Amino acid sequence: MKIQVYACHEGVQESLLREWVNHGHEVYLTEGVTQWDEKRAAIADGVKREWPSDPDVIWVGSPQDVGQALKYKWSKFKPGVPLVLTHWWIPSIKRFAGTVYKFAHQVSVCEWGREYLIDHWKMDSAVMYCPVDPDIFTLREEAPDPKRVICVGNHFPSRSIMGWEYLEKIMAKVYEKDPEVHFEFLGVNPEINPDNYPNVSTRSLPQNEMPDYQAQARCVVITTTFNLIPHSLLGAMALGRNIVAFDLPSLHEVIEHGKSGYLIPQYDTDAFAEQI
């Protein structure tokens, strides 16, 4: 199958495209609204950086690229080529979002996301959880650092769903209880100045190097306040790391409190810090 893919979410797409290539598909990476950032993730071997002449399916990961894909279909006189939209984030409920969604087949990354789409737009979808490469995200023999906590994500302070206002309080409360506990942010976070905190560092890494750092920590914290199931959470679970997260409906699909992670009542920073 010839799959034309629009760049959207390198962290997830990198392993997904590699998996498609390994299964014998021809994968063509194109760029619409978003440009692929190779500093975040390398493009999988076998993926072609060109426009296919006759794709079997066009796959997009953001509503903004639906318009780009439709324009491409019409310009090539290929109106019958199916368009697939995967909702990596919670579907938009803005006025015209539903109209845009009608031009594509829908894929959600968790059952809660599927129900959200049905409730708001009366559209059903397939469910495909974020892919996790077992050759990279695998259990490690080395013992983790008991004083190391990992936060994975980009632009924590400037993105409202990241829960930065709560995370700052959590870090301060953990420091009061144990000054040796250190928080390390993996991702692009130029807004965070480690000099302003006694227990914080930042590190920007390519996707394939992050598991080694996550595996060195005793736990990975997820302070997102409105989200589906982040790829970083599934990766951390595959590594066997403890998860501490706010209790979101979507996370119940993969976390059983006290067994596969810890779900903290929204937005109890005292309980969150105590669990860490």
Confidence of residue 249 (pLDDT cuts 50, 70, 90): very high
CA 6 from chain centre, in angstroms, equals: 16
User: Yes or no: is domain 2-127 CATH 3.30.300.30?
Assistant: no
Q: Which of 41-50, 134-143, 166-175 has the lowest mean pLDDT?
A: 134-143
User: The domain 145-275 is classified under which CATH number: 1.10.10.10, 3.40.50.10440, 3.40.50.2000, 3.90.320.10?
Assistant: 3.40.50.2000
| Cα distance between residue 272 and residue 168, in whole Å | 12
Contacts of 92 (CB under 8 A, 6+ apart): 63
Instruction: Please check whether residue 156 is in contact with residue 164, taking contact to mean a CB–CB distance below 8 angstroms.
Output: yes
Q: What would the mean pLDDT of 103-108 be, rounded to a whole number?
A: 96
Asked if residues 55 and 3 have their Cβ atoms less than 8 Å apart, the reply is yes
User: How many Cβ atoms sit within 10 Å of the Cβ of residue 268?
Assistant: 15
Count Cβ atoms below 10 Å from residue 216 Cβ, excluding itself.
17
Residue 270 — very low, low, confident or very high, per pLDDT cuts 50/70/90? very high
Q: Is the predicted pLDDT of residue 214 greater than 90, yes or no?
A: yes
pLDDT of residue 40: 84
- Domain map (residue ranges) of the chain: 2-127, 145-275
Average pLDDT of span 173-179? 98
For the cut 90, the answer to whether the pLDDT of residue 149 exceeds it is yes
Q: Mapping DSSP to helix (H, G, I), strand (E, B) and coil, where does residue 8 land?
A: coil
Tens of pLDDT, residue by residue over 8-38, are: 888 888 889 999 999 999 999 998 888 898 8
Whether 195 contacts 202, CB under 8 Å: no
In this predicted structure, the answer to whether residue 42 has a pLDDT above a threshold of 90 is: no
Per-residue pLDDT band for 180 (boundaries 50, 70, 90) equals very high
* 3-class secondary-structure state, position 90: coil
Q: In this model, does residue 129 exceed pLDDT 90? A: yes
Q: Do domains 2-127 and 145-275 have the same CATH topology?
A: yes
